[in-house]
Amino acid sequence: GAVVSQHPSWVICKSGTSVKIECRSLDFQATTMFWYRQFPKQSLMLMATSNEGSKATYEQGVEKDKFLINHASLTLSTLTVTSAHPEDSSFYICSALGGTNTGELFFGEGSRLTVL
């Protein structure tokens, strides 16, 4: 299947700093990428939909000024957690649509963020 690479796989930062997570589709072009957040022992919750060349669409309750998403190319989307706080500590997972109207999503390996 298609490969989605996510980096870094884990990051520890101090409260108040910003952290950037990259999501790349390695062998296909992804016009749409999705960012999910997963707390321990919970399901994946959609944070935002990222479309190449346009502003991201955020789900209700997700602060767009805190979670900045950029999808500047067909193979790269970034999530920046700004002014991170301990409650932002979570597992962030990106995914990309694998093909036109297939619905199939390919997931990255996830990035575990710990804010001290």
Partner 1 sequence: QQQVKQSPQSLIVQKGGISIINCAYENTAFDYFPWYQQFPGKGPALLIAIRPDVSEKKEGRFTISFNKSAKQFSLHIMDSQPGDSATYFCAAADSQAGTALIFGKGTTLSVSS
For binding to partner 1 (CB under 8 A), which residues are involved? 1, 6, 32, 34, 41-46, 49, 59, 93, 95, 97, 101-110, 112
Smallest distance, partner 1 to C-beta of residue 55, A:
16
CB of 31 closer than 8 Å to CB of 74 = yes
Of residues 66 and 112, the one with the C-beta less far from partner 1: 112
Rounded-to-integer distance, Cα 68 and Cα 104, Å: 25
Of residues 15 and 47, the one with the C-beta less far from partner 1: 47
Of residues 39 and 73, the one with the C-beta less far from partner 1: 39
Neighbours of 59 (CB within 10 A): 14
Give me 38's structure tokens.
């997963």
